[in-house]
Amino acid sequence: MTAEPAREARIALVSYHHKNTEKIAHAIAEVLNARIVAPKDVGPDDARPGDLIGFGSGIYGAKHHQNVLDLVDRLSQSTGARAFIFSTFGAPKFLVTPTFIKKNHDAIREKLLSKGFTIVGEFGCAGWNTNSFLRYTKGLNRGRPNPEDLDRARAFARSLTRSDP
């Protein structure tokens, strides 16, 4: 009997404001050799035991993009699948408390846990933000993600490979 080949890691991504999260997704994908897909291209039964799936977007209204949240709602119970969560946020430094990233992830984490996923890691970093009136300025977090952010994203991805079963 031949063993089933290991399935590649996947990343479900929405990144539209300045493609900030897309930069992070590519850095992670390089390390994991993962495929980046749009939420609409993930089927309800696409998360199977042993799979590793990343869920990433910018933070909009203190949570992930609605298309990523809706994707998790659409997924079948996925006990045994592993998930990681990542995001970029536009808040200025003085608002970024130690729990800020975790709080932004609360909505999606709760959904993933209720679907039976094991959360193997979470990552967040600043992203250029010209939302609303900021468009008349240089915006917040200009230049982010920067090369150091991308290095941190790669290190995060390497830490996930150590959680392989």
Ligand X SMILES: Cc1cc2nc3c(=O)[nH]c(=O)nc-3n(C[C@H](O)[C@H](O)[C@H](O)COP(=O)(O)O)c2cc1C
Binding region for ligand X (CB under 6 A): 15-22, 58-62, 88-91, 127-129, 131
157/159 Cα distance (integer angstroms): 5
61/73 Cα distance (integer angstroms): 19
Q: Which is nearer to ligand X, 47 or 90 (CB)?
A: 90
Q: Which is nearer to ligand X, 70 or 164 (CB)?
A: 70
Minimum CB separation of residue 93 from ligand X in Å reads 11
Token representation of residue 40? 């609409």
CA-derived radius of gyration, the chain: 16
Minimum CB separation of residue 24 from ligand X in Å reads 8
Q: Which is nearer to ligand X, 16 or 70 (CB)?
A: 16
Strand stretches in 4-89, DSSP E: 10-14, 35-37, 52-58, 82-89
Minimum CB separation of residue 89 from ligand X in Å reads 3
47/159 Cα distance (integer angstroms): 21
Minimum CB separation of residue 48 from ligand X in Å reads 28
